[in-house]
Amino acid sequence: MFFCNWFRSKPKFEVGQLALVTPPSALCLLPACSFMSIRRCRWSKQEWVYDGPIFNAQDNKLISRTFASYFSEDCLAPIPGFE
């Protein structure tokens, strides 16, 4: 079990990074322009998952909406031109 940790991929996002939320389906209740501030990154069931608050962009401000848990890398995208 100890040796399995060596073969994991590195996480796509780091703790403290802001990422664009890309909902996987039209059934998601989040608006089109939502962002997640990565507060926790962990390995679970063969993939990296992320926890953190979700923000909406409104009038050039980030407004807190909710806290999300267990978001996979498929639901997040890097913000172009922002590091």
Q: Which residues lie below 8 Å from residue 56, measured CB to CB, with a gap of 6+?
A: 31, 33, 34, 35, 62, 63, 65
Reading the chain (83 residues) residue by residue, the pLDDT tens digits are 555 666 778 899 999 999 988 876 544 665 567 889 999 999 988 899 999 999 888 888 888 888 888 888 888 889 877 66
What CA–CA distance (Å, rounded) separates 65 from 68?
10
Alpha helical stretches, state H, 1-83? none
pTM: 0.77
